[in-house]
Amino acid sequence: MTSPTFAPVLERIADEIRRLPGRGRPADYIPALAACDPRSFGMAVAEPDGTVYGVGDWRQPFSTQSITKVFTLALDLAREGDALWEHVGREPSGNPFNSLVQLEYENGIPRNPFINAGALVVTDRLHTRTGDAAGELLAFLRAESGNADLDFDKDVAASETAHGDRNAALGHFMASYGNIDNPVPVLLDQYFRQCSVTASCADLALATCFLARHGIRADGTRLLTRSQAKQVNAVMLTCGTYDAAGEFAYRVGLPGKSGVGGGIIAVVPGRCSLCVWSPGLDERGNSVAGVAALDRFTTLTGLSVF
């Protein structure tokens, strides 16, 4: 689609990204991710009415990975409200996303929902309430994106399971503090399936738009209260890009959540939601071209939470 507002901006960003010299390296611990071309680039913007604009590889499906943590957080928060925050914090970690360090001296309470330990807690609690956390997530993404073909990637899930010792350690450690309800193997299966969802920039921009609509889903029903939507956006801003959250807020100025598949979602409350994808990552696991593109978007449009 074309837009008198966003299309020229997206084309300009794509042209600038094409000339970007260093694009980082794809994640190498999952074969399906390691095989991605770091020069790939796509970007989509969705408006609250469901209109979508895109450029580059914006229809190309990719592995969502940690981006899905935003949606499981929203789905669980909608069910249990503030009780969730007794089990997971809301503070930046300052440590890598799979760190065990803070859990011991914070008694098994993860620092925030977007590091792996925190996401495991959220998935565990959603699974307790639904009986199928990953299935609940997939149904939500299909409904919000309008794409009934979205699905899990079994090869990616199997690959993550084969390299899942650190996540298993996190799960068992938190279970020893009574902060995990389900058997850890069951939780890990749900978590790895959740992270294996494949979707495009268009799909994810649309799926994220409930946060731009202050908690309202695509069908007009309310998932989150306005206050809860604000809470999710706030945690995305402060914790969504791991130990690079300060730099992301400084450069981009939007709530955002990255994944090691190279995707990043972002929200301009009341105006639009975005997804950008380029699989080359920096040393902190964030897309090099993705961060640069979002930086240029907020600079060129003036759209920011600041």
Residue entry with tokens 């680039």: 41
Average pLDDT over residues 217-243: 96
Q: Is 177 a catalytic residue?
A: no
pLDDT of residue 28: 85
Q: Is 260 a catalytic residue?
A: yes
pLDDT higher at 103 or 193: 193
Listed range (23-37, 59-73, 92-106, 219-233) with the worst mean pLDDT: 92-106
Average pLDDT over residues 216-226: 98
pTM check: above 0.85: yes
The candidate with the shortest Cα–Cα distance to 106, out of 119, 89, 122, 94, is 89
Catalytic residue among 191, 197, 235, 276: 191
Q: What is the pLDDT of residues 243-265, one digit of tens each?
A: 899 999 999 999 999 999 999 99
Residue 65's pLDDT band (boundaries 50, 70, 90)? Answer: very high
pLDDT at 2 over 60: no
pLDDT of residue 49: 96
pLDDT higher at 4 or 99: 99
Catalytic residue among 122, 159, 235, 242: 242
| pLDDT, averaged across the chain | 95
> Which contacts of 214-221 are long-range, i.e. CB under 8 A and separated by 24 or more positions?
214/269, 214/270, 217/143, 217/144, 218/50, 218/143, 218/144, 218/146, 219/143
Q: What is the pLDDT of residues 103-123, one digit of tens each?
A: 988 999 999 999 999 999 999
Rounded to whole angstroms, the Cα distance separating 114 from 205 reads 19
Q: Is 29 a catalytic residue?
A: no
pLDDT at 278 over 50: yes
Rounded to whole angstroms, the Cα distance separating 220 from 222 reads 7
Q: Is 288 a catalytic residue?
A: no
Residue 242's pLDDT band (boundaries 50, 70, 90)? Answer: confident
Residue 1's pLDDT band (boundaries 50, 70, 90)? Answer: very low
Catalytic residue among 9, 40, 55, 69: 69
Catalytic residue among 40, 63, 66, 93: 66
Q: Is 66 a catalytic residue?
A: yes
pLDDT at 4 over 70: no
Rounded to whole angstroms, the Cα distance separating 67 from 81 reads 21
pLDDT at 85 over 50: yes
Rounded to whole angstroms, the Cα distance separating 20 from 292 reads 9
Beta bridge partners of 267: 273
Tokens coding 221: 């029903």
